[in-house]
Amino acid sequence: MPIIRGSERYNCQVLCFNRKIVMIRPKMWLANDGNYRELRWFTTWKQKDQLVEFQLPPEISEALSQTSVPFGYGYIQFLDTAVAAEICEELFTPNPPHTELALNGVEVFLNASGSHHQLRKLDLRLRAFIGATHTRGGVYMYSNHQGCDGARLYYDGCSCVVVNGEVVAQGSQFSLKDVEVVVAQVDLDAIASLRGSISSFQEQASCKTKVSSVAVPYNICKPFNLKMLLSNPQKIMYHSPEEEIAFGPGCWLWDYLRRSGASGFLLPLSGGADSSSVAAIVGCMCQLVVKEIANGDEQVKADAIRIGNYTDGRFPTDSKEFAKRIFYTVYMGSENSSEATKTRAKVLADEIGSWHLDVCIDGVVSSLLSLFQTVTGKRPRYKVDGGSNVENLGLQNIQARIRMVLAFMLASLLPWVHNKKGFYLVLGSSNVDEALRGYLTKYDCSAADINPIGSISKQDLRTFLRWAANHLGYSSLAEIEAAPPTAELEPIRSNYSQLDEVDMGMTYEELSVYGRLRKIFRCGPVSMFKNLCYKWGATLTPSEVADKVKHFFKYYSINRHKMTVLTPSYHAESYSPEDNRFDLRQFLYNARWPYQFRKMDELVQEMNGDRVAFKETGEDGGTAAGGGGMGVVAAASGNPKAGF
């Protein structure tokens, strides 16, 4: 809860007991990186050595018959145990509050959190809870949001209870429920026993810094009773990355759909891996909705009846029938499209149950080219027909942008055509690697209302497609995954077929490596080059590594401006280049990178010289051990950290 005290605004956890406010605990460490900007709205509480009195607002004071409440950092001392709050980000700081609180005798920690989903992240979060109580003892009660945050994040729940480093209760990570309660019964004597058995804990507790407390004269524990069953440690439930891709964006789409007032989704379905992944995620969403209704969730049922426009007491019982009501797919082919992708799109649409359209855009493309020729006197040609790179790119962009315009037109007018209320949200389908490289047309089909895969790598998507073919019942996805990625924007000839990785000058696997080094490891061109010399040195020369790094940074910087208009995408990957919130950077670069590229060339020359020197030393009969060791040092002489 945001609370203003004097001139400052704090992010607080309000602790209540028996219809009274016991304590207000302001957050001491704010999340201010990645997706979060808490310091924009709040200040941190810095007076750790005391609790102060906070005057309650008149309407609250009157309702509770309470005029003031302790405010600050501290804990609640009951007659039989001590309870304290640790708020969200504070758990992940280098010196978290639970360390000091445990030494002061706190046994139960309450963490109210807003933690977002990211692929393969849950283990990091759970390890933090387990580590907090494994060596210090304690009960850690973690409560997390679940659902769309109103923007790009999906809070992935997984509320849990951890006792002395063991999980005894765990909630769902992905769910359509509005509220989910996780309950456990625990023995607090086990905490005292563990702490008493650790000598170092006892010694540190004896010289601790005292933390303020609020006394509450109540017992909150029950006496020993054989009728009560203690919660036993359980195996932690982890979803595979493929399941995370299906359920996370699927739940996010449903929450977005029901809260936006839209009547469904429209997807330009090309028959390729990316748009097919989006279609499969929407299909998974429909399956989740039908399953939740069957389990008796009245809120999901009411939302589905409203969105699907059901009448006469009917509601969704079949996911394909539900998809037919809320999901439109459109194949927008041209003379450059193949029959194979057209067929794949149609088969997948039938498997999911979407209302499918097959549209040819050649007439619109031809009209625009005729208009251009009338205005300029020239008509561009494709590269395979003798045109320049500029002409070739321009012709591809025309097709891509026509598809974007047509998609939004259909999304707004098709409900009217079918006598339905509302509008459809257009779904985008560009992946994180294409965005990083800029391998997309500005304002093409990547431009949409929302994009469920915009922060997911191509490699993860292909793995997801193989999984979905078996587990979601969309068998055509296996064939789609096996097909080579292509934009199908250039003419197909007997000696030429457009392929994504050839166009980009790099593989999707390489792009994923570049993305992680650039964002997660904060590498610029020179430090990325050094890292990749170690990673790829067995198969590539330093000169070849340098060429690859230069090629990536050239196109990354040329295309960075596209990130300013990137469709709002579900955040799923830690190297997302999304410009609005997560990866705040300039979008005007010197694409020649003169200093950095020159420095790389100097390092290549040094390493080539060192390699020659090492080779000569080896041929002159240096000892095997000494020669080998010197070779490692000499080969990396340009990097002062090479020995570590």
Q: Do residues 527 and 535 lie in contact, with contact meaning Cβ atoms separated by under 8 Å? A: no
Q: Do residues 117 and 248 lie in contact, with contact meaning Cβ atoms separated by under 8 Å? A: yes
Kind of pairing, strands 213-215 and 75-77? parallel
The pLDDT assigned to 314 comes to 94
The pLDDT assigned to 618 comes to 53
Q: How confident is the model at residue 490 (pLDDT cuts 50, 70, 90)?
A: confident
Cα–Cα distance, 107 to 84 (Å, whole number): 8
pLDDT > 90 in the chain, percent: 81
CA distances from 197 to 45, 92, 166, 546, 602 (A): 34, 26, 17, 56, 59
Quote the crossing angle between the two packed helices 458-471 and 273-294, to the nearest 10°: 50
CB-based burial label for 622 (10 Å; 0-12, 13-18, 19+): middle
The pLDDT assigned to 634 comes to 37
The pLDDT assigned to 615 comes to 57
CA neighbor of 571 nearest in space, from 36, 159, 145, 170: 36
Distance of CA 628 to the CA centre of its chain: 44
The whole-number average pLDDT for the span 344-366 is 96
Cα–Cα distance, 574 to 57 (Å, whole number): 42
Cα–Cα distance, 334 to 489 (Å, whole number): 8
Contacts of 567 (CB under 8 A, 6+ apart): 428, 430, 446, 447, 448, 449, 450, 451, 454
Q: Check whether 348 has a pLDDT greater than 50.
A: yes
The whole-number average pLDDT for the span 550-561 is 95
The pLDDT assigned to 110 comes to 96
CA distances from 100 to 110, 128, 208, 539 (A): 15, 16, 7, 50
Q: How confident is the model at residue 617 (pLDDT cuts 50, 70, 90)?
A: low
| DSSP of 509-547 | HHHHHHHHHHHTS---HHHHHHHHHHHHTTTS-HHHHHH
Token digits of residue 310: 């059901």
Contacts of 386 (CB under 8 A, 6+ apart): none
Q: Do residues 562 and 438 lie in contact, with contact meaning Cβ atoms separated by under 8 Å? A: yes
Q: Check whether 622 has a pLDDT greater than 50.
A: no
Q: What is the pLDDT of residues 390-423, one digit of tens each?
A: 999 999 999 999 999 999 999 999 999 988 888 9
Backbone angles phi, psi at 620, to 5 degrees: -80, 0
Domain locations along the chain: 2-215, 266-421+457-500
Q: Do residues 215 and 75 lie in contact, with contact meaning Cβ atoms separated by under 8 Å? A: no
The whole-number average pLDDT for the span 133-153 is 94
Contacts of 498 (CB under 8 A, 6+ apart): 336, 486, 487, 488, 489, 490, 492
Q: Check whether 66 has a pLDDT greater than 80.
A: yes
CATH superfamily of 2-215: Carbon-nitrogen hydrolase (3.60.110.10)
Cα–Cα distance, 36 to 582 (Å, whole number): 8
Q: What is the pLDDT of residues 435-459, one digit of tens each?
A: 999 888 888 878 999 999 999 999 9
Token digits of residue 273: 């891996």
Q: Do residues 493 and 602 lie in contact, with contact meaning Cβ atoms separated by under 8 Å? A: no
The pLDDT assigned to 611 comes to 63
Cα–Cα distance, 102 to 131 (Å, whole number): 13
Tell me, what amino acid is at 465?
Answer: L
The whole-number average pLDDT for the span 21-35 is 95
The whole-number average pLDDT for the span 29-58 is 94
Q: Check whether 644 has a pLDDT greater than 70.
A: no
Element (H, E) at 76: strand 75-77
Contacts of 276 (CB under 8 A, 6+ apart): 269, 344, 345, 348, 465, 477, 480
The whole-number average pLDDT for the span 593-597 is 96
Q: How confident is the model at residue 627 (pLDDT cuts 50, 70, 90)?
A: very low
* CA gyration radius, the chain: 30
Cα–Cα distance, 197 to 578 (Å, whole number): 49
The pLDDT assigned to 643 comes to 31
The pLDDT assigned to 487 comes to 78
The pLDDT assigned to 579 comes to 85
The whole-number average pLDDT for the span 302-309 is 95
Residues paired with 329 in a beta bridge: 267, 356
| DSSP of 550-592 | HHHHHHHHHHGGGGGGPPPB----TT---TTTTS---S---TT
Q: Check whether 637 has a pLDDT greater than 80.
A: no
Given CA atoms 552, 118, 93, 190 in this order, what sign does their dihedral have?
negative
Cα–Cα distance, 451 to 276 (Å, whole number): 13
Q: Check whether 95 has a pLDDT greater than 80.
A: yes
| DSSP of 322-344 | HHHHHEEEEEEE-TT--HHHHHH
Given CA atoms 493, 496, 500, 505 in this order, what sign does their dihedral have?
negative
Element (H, E) at 480: helix 476-482
Q: Which CATH class is domain 266-421+457-500?
A: alpha beta
Q: Check whether 635 has a pLDDT greater than 70.
A: no
| Average pLDDT over the chain, rounded to an integer | 91
Q: How confident is the model at residue 142 (pLDDT cuts 50, 70, 90)?
A: very high
Q: 161-165, 438-442, 493-497: which range is least confident on average?
A: 493-497
